[in-house]
Amino acid sequence: MRPEANDLLNGGFGTMLMDIAPNLNATYSTGSAAMIGLLMYCAGLEYERGADVRVKENDMFRAIFREATGHLDGDLQNRVSAAGQGMDEDFHISALNVANDALRELLIELHAHVEEVEAKWAREIEHSILTALNQSAKLRAIAVPQL
Amino acid sequence: MSELTPLEPALAELAEKFSDYLETHMPDVTTADVEAMERIHGGASRETFRVKVHLRTDASMPGETRGMILRRDPVGSLIDTDRDVEFNAYKAFYGGSVPVPEALFLEMDEKWLERPFFVMSEIVSGAAASPFAPAPYGEHAGTLGEQFWRHLGTISATDIEANGLAEKMETPALDQCWKKELDYWEGVIDADQLEPHPIARAAIRKLRRSPPPPAQKLSVVHGDYRTGNFMFDEHGEITAVLDWEMCHLGDALEDLAWALDPMWAADGPEMPGSLIPRAEAIAIWEKESGLKADPAALEWWELFSNLKGLGIWISSSHEYATGDNKDPILAFSGLYCTSRHNEIVAERLLKAFEEAN
């Protein structure tokens, strides 16, 4: 599809902010129109990068699970080990979200677990998790254009 | 109501009902004609309207026009707060050195405007700036910064018995202030998250592992004291401190940390609120409040503030996605502000870990 959805949304963002919002009479409507323009910008950003962000995040989290598996035991080890072996095959955003949510839940559990363990390996896993969370936050950052 | 002059057509019915309310509740007034009413962005937590009302006490006299702000409960909201919290805070501080609008009416009966509401006087001079704009105060940044941090110090120093808020609000023990707030915001995240939040969860665990020292005293906490929530005029005077809807009693460092949050520091965290340098800001607050900003305690409250922000944004996403309120500001807060606070918290957690290990 050309123009792509993000091009359409960015075009709408500009029109909403520069043409429509300033010409509305009601203060609240002007603000809402500008805000809808910003949402169109965010949607365009997400259209372009949404799948890439989720796949990268999922890969990062799975790598941590593979790193941690050998240090765990019992049910947690089984679940972490299984999650570490997976890979994304369905690249619809909805499918990637299902995988991403499951991996995030398990990451939270693993993170809480290693925080309670007094061992060098636990600190290393903890550092890997915090580094991955930093990268995740940067991948999902939204730079709003200065208006 | 008589002689309704032009106003937003969609608001004509609300204006008429508001007029009826004023005529019933202002004993000296014979007619209260709404001359103008417009909805404004006063935060997504309440529907906010700017109203011009012509009041007459005698039909043969010209009367006077008065500006009012009407804040009505929405169908869904960014922050779940009781409207009387904000109303009581305005009443407590009105007439003091911290400028606030006069609280006029608090109405819980839904028969008047379909939902509870309160009314306050309009601040006629000044405007608020965007919390995300770089250098929003220009040449007035210095003088506004001095006032901004001094007013916060005054709020922190306020005698909660003398101003009546101790009777109207929960009074936690000094060593429980942190826990009450953390429990509350963790509960918000538990209830409203649309997806798992590993960064917020890591912050919650860290905050619980190392609680701050007890509050130095039980203080009024504005709850949303930041750039963007005050009005200032062209002379560089703060004319009103607004948005007290999350006001409560607790540790004054909570407000200090919230005001210092990098979220409201478009020009960098060392220039909080884009006003004056951080060290200078803290010194002014300490002098005015008579309290100390212990670095370790403040560090705890700063991480807590970041988490509280996440709680608000997660809640706004939930409201937009599942509620009846489709105000686009809810969606934007849920998207942009969540991503920004996640960045801030993740960086803070990693830095703290690397310094400790």
| Average pLDDT over chain A, rounded to an integer | 95
Residues of chain A with C-beta less than 8 angstroms from the C-beta of B50: 27
- Tell me the nearest-neighbour CA distance from B340 into chain A, angstroms: 6
- Report pLDDT for A113: 98
Q: Is B198 on the interface with A (CB under 8 A)?
A: yes
- Report pLDDT for B6: 56
Residues of chain B with C-beta less than 8 angstroms from the C-beta of A123: 357
Question: Is residue A19 very low, low, confident or very high in pLDDT (cuts 50, 70, 90)?
Answer: very high
Its pTM stands at 0.94
DSSP B313-338: HHHHHHHHHHSS---HHHHHIIIIIH
Instruction: For residue A71, give both structure tokens.
Output: 């240090």
- Report pLDDT for B292: 98
- Report pLDDT for B81: 59
Residues of chain B with C-beta less than 8 angstroms from the C-beta of A140: 339, 342
A interface mutation test: which of B330, B353, B354 has the most A CBs within 10 A?
A: B353
- Tell me the nearest-neighbour CA distance from A2 into chain B, angstroms: 27
Residues of chain B with C-beta less than 8 angstroms from the C-beta of A138: 343
- Report pLDDT for B78: 46
> For the segment B166-209, what is each residue's pLDDT rounded down to a tens digit?
999 999 999 999 999 999 999 999 999 999 999 999 999 999 99
Instruction: For residue B83, give both structure tokens.
Output: 């409207």
DSSP B223: S
- Report pLDDT for B2: 38
- Report pLDDT for B44: 59
Distance CA A83, CA B307 (A): 28
Residue among B101, B77, B79 at smallest CA distance from B91: B101
Instruction: For residue B41, give both structure tokens.
Output: 């962005």
- Report pLDDT for B131: 81
Distance CA A79, CA A99 (A): 14
Q: Is A140 on the interface with B (CB under 8 A)?
A: yes
- Report pLDDT for A25: 81
- Report pLDDT for B43: 62
A interface mutation test: which of B7, B339, B341, B351 has the most A CBs within 10 A?
A: B339
Q: What is the ipTM of this complex?
A: 0.96
DSSP B350: H
Q: Do A137 and B342 touch (CB under 8 A)?
A: yes
- Pairing between β-strand B219-221 and β-strand B248-250 as defined by DSSP bridges: antiparallel
Who among B345, B346, B357 is closest to A123 (CB)? B357
- Report pLDDT for B5: 45
Q: Is A110 helix (H, G, I), strand (E, B) or coil?
A: helix
Instruction: For residue B330, give both structure tokens.
Output: 């809810």
> For the segment A31-50, what is each residue's pLDDT rounded down to a tens digit?
899 999 999 999 999 999 99
Who among A26, A39, A136 is closest to B331 (CB)? A39
Within A70-139, where are the H helices?
Answer: 74-85, 93-115, 120-139
Instruction: For residue A26, give both structure tokens.
Output: 């009601």
Distance CA B246, CA B88 (A): 11
Burial class (CB in 10 A: 0-12, 13-18, 19+), B235: exposed
- Mean pLDDT (10-residue bins), chain B, 357 residues: 55 94 94 92 79 91 93 66 85 97 94 93 92 87 98 98 95 98 98 98 98 98 96 96 95 98 93 96 98 98 98 94 86 95 98 97
Task: Write down how long chain B is.
Answer: 357
- Report pLDDT for A28: 87
